[in-house]
């Protein structure tokens, strides 16, 4: 990874209030402006801070959904994407979170 994408990745994390990280984890689908969150709660927290558009996609793993928040940040050029794979059966509390409610409302529309 060249210095410019690494700098953009750090700028993205700083704009989101996230701690520094060595590099985007490309093996998980991350890039300088596309970050995986640690949990559906963290995704909800960031969604509450930034707003944006929420989408949900079924994954190849039965019972697991891919939640994506796409938002714009003034400190970062272009859209920023935040994502997590969420298993509702294991994290039922997630249905009460605004990010999940908005994702399921969007999917049902």
Sheet holding 53-58, edge to edge: 34-36, 79-86, 65-72, 53-58
Residues 36-79 pLDDT 10s? 999 999 999 999 999 999 999 888 889 999 999 999 999 999 99
For residues 39 and 3, give the distance between their C-alpha atoms in angstroms, rounded to a whole number.
29
Any idea which of 18-22, 67-71, 74-78, 91-95 has the lowest mean pLDDT?
A: 18-22
Q: What is the DSSP letter of 60?
A: S
């Amino acid at each position: 990874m060249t210095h410019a994408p690494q700098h953009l990745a750090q700028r993205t994390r700083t704009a989101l209030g996230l701690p520094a990280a060595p590099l985007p984890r490309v093996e998980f689908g991350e890039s300088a402006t596309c970050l995986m969150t640690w949990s559906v709660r963290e995704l909800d927290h960031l969604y509450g801070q930034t707003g944006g558009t929420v989408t949900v996609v079924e994954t190849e793993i039965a019972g697991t959904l891919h939640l994506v928040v796409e938002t714009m940040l003034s400190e970062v050029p272009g859209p920023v994407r935040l994502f997590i794979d969420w298993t509702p059966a294991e994290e039922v509390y997630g249905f009460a979170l605004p990010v999940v409610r908005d994702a399921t409302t969007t999917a049902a529309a």
